[in-house]
Structure 1
């Protein structure tokens, strides 16, 4: 699949394009797209709360759920490890797993 980088406007494909799609799905609140109400993640709704250890566990769970939601179109990545860490006023997700039979990893700041 070929796409357009949302920051530069350059053409992206393969892994960078997937990372962009996954980042968009993880940072879009569930139910906010009118024509695709099942698209997105519950992860963003948790960010307004105090970032305690239990919230980090819930964030990891929400991130995993996002990859198994068929409406997001990112199920071609099978997460092995999802780690949420505090960063500034939000959190950073570190994800590692299998994508097209290759071990890959990326980070998402929310």
Structure 2
């Protein structure tokens, strides 16, 4: 049951993130203008993490121990991007306030995904 719930949330987050970040980068459906002062480094980090979430979901589905690695890499990318966001802000760069909370949320959720994946794959 935990595995199914994890897979559903991991796939949902991965697919929604893939759609939203690629929409901002490639300006699909005019989403870029709706995002306001987005930080390109954050959007690219989210795009890469979306792909890694989907890879991790596949690995979890197949009960592969390597499924933790994409989540570890995602967590590292997100933390580095978060640090980069604060550097960007301190240098006077434009940003949306919601980005700070969204990145903290994404880091926390990714850490939870990694924790649950580690527990599930040990069995």
Structure-1-length-normalised TM-score:
0.34
Higher helix share: 2
TM score, norm. by length of structure 2: 0.32
Greater Rg, structure 1 or structure 2?
2
| Bigger strand fraction | 1
